[in-house]
Amino acid sequence: MKDYLVVSPEVKKAIEENKPVVALESTIISHGMPYPKNVETALKVEQIVRENGAIPATIAIIKGKLTVGITPEEIDYLGKKGLEVTKASRRDIPVLVARGEDGATTVAATMIIAHMAGIKLFATGGIGGVHRGAETTMDISADLEELSNTNVSVICAGAKSILDLGLTLEYLETKGVPVIGYQTDELPAFYTKESGFKVNYKMDSPLEIAKALKAKEELRLKGAMLITNPIPDEYSMDKELINGVIEKAVEEANSLGVKGKDITPFLLDKIQKITEGKSLEANIQLVYNNAKLGAQIAKELSNL
């Protein structure tokens, strides 16, 4: 493993000393938004984690190395390369490592590498899920399978609202993944606070969530807990408006034959253009919000 996995000295020391650490993904840097906004956002997310008492560990594949705690220079490198960097999920990891190439890690890949390093918590924007029309396309994100298998719990603003949220919850139910709502009993829908679907449990404090995570760990139950954190009120978008925008973007994607791992960045880009940047700002703010909660939970967990 030591030939493939590189953990920064700061992150390694924190893990060894049972200090709070929060993993962060790198797809948002290369595929989430344009340069230099992507780099500014990634660095701000790390700052928020630090301000709330935890160590950030942004994860990426750099020249074939599974790198945990990439440097600001490496964040800038990924931001400048942008879409040239492979969007790396589970299936891509061994190929990129063997070829010595770069990869921006998705939720699934970030979970895998975080687990290798011994990190228990990961904060992101939104998870992938069951895509609309999946009953005929079978387009289901690898994120969901990873949540059922890998012991790294995820803080997010729910599943991206471009997905079929009902089927995504059904899939998680089938796989035994507990879905927690932070101060809400309703699944957040990424851009909006409400989706119309209920979570399994509402929890009102980072300590309550940390206690559940600790119990899960001590019971040796496989897989993650999914902790959903609604977007702050001031950045939440109108539900009817955003749903209409998403429908329009999905129709265009279908007409152009956009599929697989290209569909999410295509839809997010279209939604950003149609909303004149409002969806991008909402996306950034919900990531900040999740980083804060992730750090708070990690801090409580390290004290138990």
Output the domain CATH number for residue 258: 3.40.1790.10
259 is a catalytic site residue: no
Residues 64, 70, 76, 81: what is their CA dihedral angle, to the nearest 10 degrees?
20
Q: Which two tokens stand for residue 131?
A: 């895509």
Residue entry with tokens 């920064």: 8
Cα 193 to Cα 95, 104, 136, 281: the distances in Å are 38, 28, 29, 15
Strands (E) across the chain are located at 5-7, 21-24, 55-62, 65-68, 86-88, 103-105, 121-123, 153-156, 179-182, 201-203, 226-228
Other CB atoms within 10 Å distance of the CB of residue 188: 27
E strand residue ranges, 143-206: 153-156, 179-182, 201-203
Residue 206 has a pLDDT of: 98
Whether residue 25 lies in the annotated active site: yes
**What was the pLDDT predicted at 79?**
97
pLDDT value at position 9? 98
Q: How far apart are CA 251 and CA 253, in angstroms?
A: 5
For residue 86, the model assigns a pLDDT of 97
Number of folded domains in the chain? 1
Instruction: List, run by run, the mean pLDDT of 10-residue segments along the chain (304 residues).
Output: 94 98 96 92 98 98 98 98 96 98 98 98 95 80 95 94 90 97 95 91 98 97 97 90 81 81 75 82 95 98 96
Residue 304 is given by DSSP the state -
pTM of the model: 0.93
The single residue of 87, 120, 160, 278 carrying the catalytic annotation is 160
pLDDT of residue 105: 98
CB 120 within 8 A of CB 14: no
Helix axes 9-16, 107-117, angle to 10 degrees: 60
Q: What pLDDT score was predicted for residue 112? A: 98
pLDDT at 246: 79
Instruction: Give pLDDT, residue 237.
Output: 87
Residues 272, 25, 31: CA angle, nearest 5 degrees: 35
Helix axes 37-51, 72-81, angle to 10 degrees: 150
Domain containing residue 228: 5-303
Farthest CA pair distance, the chain: 53
The whole-number pLDDT of residue 40 equals 97
Burial (0-12, 13-18, 19+ Cβ within 10 Å), 73:
exposed
Displacement of CA 118 from its chain's centroid (Å)? 18
User: What pLDDT was estimated at residue 138?
Assistant: 84
